[in-house]
Amino acid sequence: MLVSLNNITKIYNGNILLDNVSLVIDETDKIGLVGNNGCGKSTLLKILTGSVEPDRATEKDGIISLAAKTSVGYLEQMGGLDSENTVMDEMQRVFEPIHRAIGRLREIELEIESGDNSSADEYQRLSSWVEANDGYNTDVKIRTILNGMGFSGEQLNRRISGFSGGEKTRLCISKLLLEEPNLLILDEPTNHLDFKTIMWLEEYLRSYRGAVLIVSHDRYFLDRLCTSICEIERGTLTRYKGNYSAFIRQREDNDLRRQREYEQQQKEIAKLEDYVARNLVRASTTKMAQSRRRQLEKMDRIEKPFHDERHAKISFTYAIEPPLEVLKVRNADITVGEGARRKTLAENISFEVRRGEKVGIIGDNGIGKSTLLKMIQGLIPHAGSVRWNTNVKISYFEQESTNLNRELTVMEELHSRYPSLSDLEVRNLLAQVRFVGENVFKETGVISGGERAKLCFAIMMQEHGNVLILDEPTNHLDLSSKEAIETALEEYTGTVIFVSHDRYLLSRIADRLIELTEGGYREHNCGFEKYLDILRDEQAAEKRAADAEKQAKAAEAAKEKLTRAYRSKQQRSADAARKNEMRRLEKEIDDIQAQIDALTEEIGREEVYTDYETMSAKCSEIDGLKQKIDENFEKLIELEEQ
């Protein structure tokens, strides 16, 4: 057990947000925390991390117990980064204790070299600690995490202040992963991540040695990672075994079971109450009726199951059927900016869309997906040809909802577009997307992103377009609203062209995909699941190629090292031979000089210099020895120059 929460209650403005919530987190748990917006998920995380205190009615309430070994890492927002640091410097801060220990080891080594062995025990202790914490591989750890989170090359030496908000969030996740807490708490970690990064993060967290608690609207992520799901509904937390899909099945089964148990008990209650009402006044049956009444009073009554009738009810319809060929794009480009800032992201894009197709547009952040949607609608200038067929009526969902008048109320926004609708008709339409009560009188400039999205869906429902163009339609939506829009798109028989990072939506809706790449595009005539298989195969092939290249470089380096070692051995042998030869020549010169000195002494004697033949022979011998010395000196000079 890492953490235990017992009877956690939190009340805001008289409303119970969390009602006696209890939760135990064990060492290897991978828990997804779900629930509608405002249900208390983030509040529970803040209570768990100690930034918010629970409300306590008694001393036994609001108990938070952490095991002594528990270390908690919490990703809430892009905080905790020093914007003046480079990426590598900031990541190295995680390992400051290790760096200090290694620095102290170097100091002790110098002390030992100078003959001071007083710190030998400290050296042994520090050395063992550094090795146990893999302290000599910190750079490898950092680069592995950063590469997985999409940072490499020159980015590692950039100052953090120069990165975007989404990039800073990814850096926060990277730093948190490097810290390796045994309880990792992540609040919407997949925001701002592309498919490749999300897939890497999924695999990393699946093998993470600690526990993970995640708040996420990414159902695909929850499906791939979680071993249990905790749902907060009306202040109560219920835990389900398995991933998100298993949670949905279990919740439906539980709802049916509770409904049956409730209805069965209600029938029994009605039967008992009817008996009491008919027989209490009769003398012959009074005692039996009183017994039945006591039975009713003692009965542990089942609470009526809660059915959230506020789920959005979205439905897209159209009256005019377009031709079979809906859209044809030929040699178009995706361009952003104007003048000197004008930049072409992709060129020569060609594709077709047929009636009833549901085409997903995917690609990395900033690659031009939203621009493509605007380009095909003629909202921005472009090269190439974009031709829509006749009888096409487009209904467009813009990601930022800039088509809404922020000064109008929700009611006024719809009235301005459809003045023929009565107030009742407008309110009925808004109620379908869960706009009720006083919320309809809020200005669109102050409502949440999810509420703006649902207002746009209400407008689209009234437009009756036979082609829906959607830019990130599930952003800002809670889980129930996401399910509602998915069901609506699944049941819609018209044509859908949509941009999304929501893998659950892509998996459920897209018939085929257009993937924007750096400078170009790829078409995939398959659904999202098949595309993921293709992507994994490509990544595996890239890894094999990279591994093969790495092995080839390693082999080449080993060969070069061996060659250098071989050459070095030959050189050492040659140097030794050269020095030996030089010593031999020097000794020979000395010996010859001794002979010359002896001969010179001899020719100075009378019996020699008076004997012409002897004298001549001695002089010839001296000349020969001097010539030999000259030859040896020339050889010495050559050997020294080598």
By the 8 A CB rule, do 178 and 145 touch? yes
Per-residue pLDDT at 642 exceeds 70: no
| AA letter at 286 | T
Question: What is the DSSP track for 166-234?
Answer: HHHHHHHHHHHHHH--SEEEEESTTTT--HHHHHHHHHHHHT-SSEEEEE-S-HHHHHHH-SEEEEEET
> pTM of the prediction?
0.72
Q: What is the pLDDT of residue 310?
A: 53
Confidence of residue 238 (pLDDT cuts 50, 70, 90): very high
- Residues 41-50 have a mean pLDDT of 90
By the 8 A CB rule, do 442 and 374 touch? no
Pairing of strands 15-25, 3-12: antiparallel
Place of tokens 């028989």: 493
| Cα–Cα distance for residue pair 344/484, rounded to 1 Å | 37
Kindly report, residue by residue over 174-212, the tens digit of the pLDDT.
999 999 999 999 988 887 788 888 889 999 999 999 999
By the 8 A CB rule, do 324 and 353 touch? no
**515 DSSP β-pair partners:** 362, 522
Average pLDDT for the chain: 88
Confidence of residue 567 (pLDDT cuts 50, 70, 90): low
Place of tokens 């033949």: 613
Q: What is the pLDDT of residue 475?
A: 84
| AA letter at 217 | H
Q: What is the pLDDT of residue 371?
A: 92
**Nearest partner of 468 among 281, 316, 256, 244, judged by Cα:** 316
Q: Residue 287 CB: number of other CB atoms within 10 A?
A: 11
**Nearest partner of 300 among 256, 268, 323, 338, judged by Cα:** 268
Continuous H helices in 63-137: 87-92, 96-113, 120-132
Q: What is the pLDDT of residue 543?
A: 81
Q: Using CA of residue 344, residue 346, residue 348, residue 354, what is the dihedral sign?
A: negative
Q: What is the pLDDT of residue 395?
A: 96
Confidence of residue 342 (pLDDT cuts 50, 70, 90): confident
| Cα–Cα distance for residue pair 256/260, rounded to 1 Å | 6
Kindly report, residue by residue over 376-426, the tens digit of the pLDDT.
999 988 889 999 999 999 999 998 888 899 899 999 999 999 999 999 999
Per-range mean pLDDT, top range of 260-274, 295-309, 336-350: 260-274
| AA letter at 590 | D
Q: What is the pLDDT of residue 391?
A: 93
Packing angle, helices 612-641 and 528-603, rounded to 10: 160
Kindly report, residue by residue over 100-126, the tens digit of the pLDDT.
999 999 999 888 888 888 888 999 999
pLDDT over 90 for what percent of the chain?
Answer: 48
Mapped onto helix, strand or coil, the DSSP state of residue 254 is: helix
- Residues 221-228 have a mean pLDDT of 94
Which are the contacts of 287, defined by CB distance < 8 A and separation ≥ 6?
A: none
| Cα–Cα distance for residue pair 8/11, rounded to 1 Å | 10
| Cα–Cα distance for residue pair 37/426, rounded to 1 Å | 24
Q: What is the pLDDT of residue 633?
A: 82
Judged by average pLDDT, the poorest of 17-21, 154-158, 557-561 is 557-561
Judged by phi (left if over 0) then psi (alpha if -120 to 50, else beta), residue 174 lies in: alpha
